[in-house]
Amino acid sequence: MCGELVKIDAVDMTYGGHGGGSGTKAVAGLNMAVAAGEFVAVVGPSGCGKSTLMKLVTGLHIPEVGTITVAGDRVTKPISIVGMAFQNPTMLPWRTTLDNVLLPLEIVKPHRSRLRANKAEYVAKAENLLKLVGLEGFGDKFPWQLSGGMQQRANLCRALIHEPALLMLDEPFGALDAFTREELWCVIRDIHANTDVTIVLVTHDLREAVFLADRVLVMSARPGRIIVDRTVEFERPRQLDIMYERSFSNVVSELREHIAEARVKVGV
C-alpha cells in the first residue's frame, strides 16, 4: 500500500438543467478515498449514482463542484491508467472478440507502438485472458455470435489487457448465471491477489461485495453520497465456502439493512 490512488472530494454532479436547478442531481457531497492496491465495493439503491461515481473517477464526466484525483493528478479528461468494464458490454460489432479485447492497446499510448512491434505476444496475452474467463477458442467469433454472458466475460478481458493500475467494474457480472459468476469472482480475486491492481466494483450483489472487497461503501438514495464504510476483515485468500459461514451472512445482513434504510429515504 502506498497512499491514496483515488480521491473524490466534495463532488456534486447534475445531469442536464445547465446549472438552472432543473436537472437531475445524481451525486451530492460525495467523498471517497481508495488506497493503492485496495479492493473497494460500492453498493446502494438503484439510481443512486453508482455509475455516475464510476464515470466521474474515469473522467467520462467532469464534476461542476468538487475535485477528483487519480494517482495524484486532478481528473479533467478521460484517464488512461484505468481498465473499465461497464454494465452493458460495449463490444464493437465489426471486430472479432480478440480484436475487441486488443482495442485498449490501440488507444493507450505506451502500448500502441509495442502492439505493432510485438503483435504475437499481445495476441497470446489476449488469448490467455479469454481462456481465464472460459472463452477459449472464441477469439475469432464476432460479438453478435456470443451470448450476453459471453460478451460480458470478453468485456472483462478488454478491461484487463493493458494491465491497468486501476480497474473500475460496474456490475460486470450482471448477466451471468450463478456458477459462472462465482467462477469469475475467483478470477478477479486472484488477479487482485497476484498484481498491484486497485479495484473499484459496483454491484447489487452483497455476497459478491463481501466476498471480494476489503471495504464495502454504501451509497444513499439519489443524490448519492457514501453513508456507510464497512471494512471486511475476512482473511485472504478467501474461498467460496466462506459464504456459508455465519460471520459472512452477518456482514451481508448488516449491509442489506443499511441499503433498506437508504431506499426508504428515496424521495424524501
Ligand X SMILES: Nc1ncnc2c1ncn2[C@@H]1O[C@H](COP(=O)(O)OP(=O)(O)OP(=O)(O)O)[C@@H](O)[C@H]1O
- Site residues (CB under 5 A) for Mg ion? 50-51
The residue (of 49 and 164) whose beta carbon lies closer to ligand X is 49
Nearer to ligand X, 26 or 41 (CB): 26
Cβ burial of 15 (10 Å; 0-12, 13-18, 19+) is: exposed
As measured in angstroms, the least distance from the Cβ of 132 to Mg ion is 25
Site for ligand X in 212-241 (CB under 6 A): 222
> How many angstroms separate the CA atoms of 112 and 76, rounded?
23
Q: How far is the CB of 88 from ligand X (least distance, A)?
A: 10
Name the binder of 206 from Mg ion, ligand X, none, CB < 5-8 A by kind: none
User: Contacts with ligand X: how many residues (CB under 6 A)?
Assistant: 12
x/- track of binding to ligand X for residues 23-62 (CB under 6 A): -x-x-------------------xxxxxxx----------
Find which of ligand X, Mg ion, none residue 96 binds, CB within 5 to 8 Å per kind: none
CA torsion sign for 236, 241, 244, 246 is: negative
- Shortest distance in whole angstroms from residue 87 CB to Mg ion: 5
Is there a contact between 60 and 86 (Cβ–Cβ < 8 Å)? no
**Any bridge partners for residue 83, and if so which?**
167
Per partner kind, with CB cut-offs from 5 to 8 A, the member of ligand X, Mg ion, none near residue 222 is ligand X
Q: Which is nearer to Mg ion, 50 or 158 (CB)?
A: 50
The residues near 266 (Cβ < 8 Å, ≥ 6 apart) are: 45, 221, 222
Q: How far is CA 113 from CA 92, 106, 108, 157, in A?
A: 22, 8, 10, 21
Give residues in contact with ligand X (CB under 6 A).
15-16, 24, 26, 46-52, 222
